[in-house]
Amino acid sequence: MKVLGIIGSMRKGGNTGKLVEAVLGAVQEASPKIRTQAVHLSELEIGPCRGCYDACAKTPYKCVVKDDFQGLVQRMEEADGLVLGSPLYFPVPSRLIALCERLVELAYFHDMRKHKGAHLLEDKPCAFVAATEVTEPTDVFRYLFGFALFTRMTPLTMKRYPYYGVAGRGDLAKDPGTSFERAKELGQLLADTVEG
């Protein structure tokens, strides 16, 4: 079994990445048989949807744009669970928007063309974390929830998600532990859900 963490921040080693890593660490602690891996979108080239509809309208979940999108989508499909992490960038960073936008287009054409088989990410458990300057990261979570629901994933729910209301580099280190405690809870919930 495998859980893939997607770090949407362009800042490697930043607050968002640390929260995603904390969730992944908690998943492994809860179930050592689940392998975890983090992907930094900052290291990938993923452009926006071009609206060409050349492949996606004809073949389920295929895109003609030659970048890192297809490889990441394959890794997402192979994973048993996902963790999506994002800072607040009105609403999220552009590369994460490009990933979501292109997956939503593929899901849309899957339905519109009545392609056979399940959606690529259907029923896949998905967890969310955010690093924001505001005390309530509603915009980030609303965006990620909408993406997950449109692509037929199963968002995990908690009363309070792991996030930290800061924007400065390394500010997560000032957290009194609340965000990391929530990350552990979320990791445990994800591990339990993946193991079913």
The full set of domains in the chain, from first to last, is 2-195 (3.40.50.360)
Q: Round to whole Å and give the CA distance between 108 and 61.
A: 10
In percent, how much of the chain has pLDDT > 70?
A: 93
More confident residue, 88 or 160: 88
Mean pLDDT across the stretch 177-196? Answer: 90
List pLDDT tens digits, range 77-104. Answer: 999 999 999 988 878 889 999 999 999 9
Cis? peptide before 91, omega within 30° of 0: yes
List pLDDT tens digits, range 106-133. Answer: 888 888 777 788 888 999 999 998 887 7
Judge contact between 120 and 188, C-beta under 8 A: no
Best CA proximity match to 5, nearest among 193, 187, 136, 181? 187
Judge contact between 129 and 85, C-beta under 8 A: yes
Question: Is 38 a residue whose pLDDT tops 90?
Answer: yes
